[in-house]
Amino acid sequence: MSDGIFTSFRVSAMGLRAQRVRLDVAAENLANLETTRTAAGGPYRPQVAVMEMGRGTPQRLGALPSGTVSFRELLATRERHLAASAAPPAPAPAPGPPLTVSVVERAEPFVSEYQPDHPDADEDGMLLRPNVDPIQEMMTLIKATRAYEANATALDAAKEMLGRALEI
* Higher per-residue confidence, 36 vs 80: 36
pLDDT per residue as tens digits for the range 120-156: 899 999 999 999 999 999 999 999 999 999 999 999 9
Say what the pLDDT of residue 1 is.
43
Burial class (CB in 10 A: 0-12, 13-18, 19+), 166: exposed
Say what the pLDDT of residue 149 is.
97
CB contact at 8 A, 17 and 102: no
pLDDT(51) > 70 = yes
Count Cβ neighbours within 10 Å for each residue of 33-70 and write b for 16 or more, e otherwise.
eeebeeeeeebbbbbbbbbebeeeeeeebeeeeeeeee
Confidence tier at 58 by pLDDT (50, 70, 90): low
pLDDT(78) > 80 = no
Read off φ and ψ for residue 105, nearest 5 degrees: -80, 140
pLDDT(35) > 70 = yes
Residue length of the chain:
168
Say what the pLDDT of residue 137 is.
95
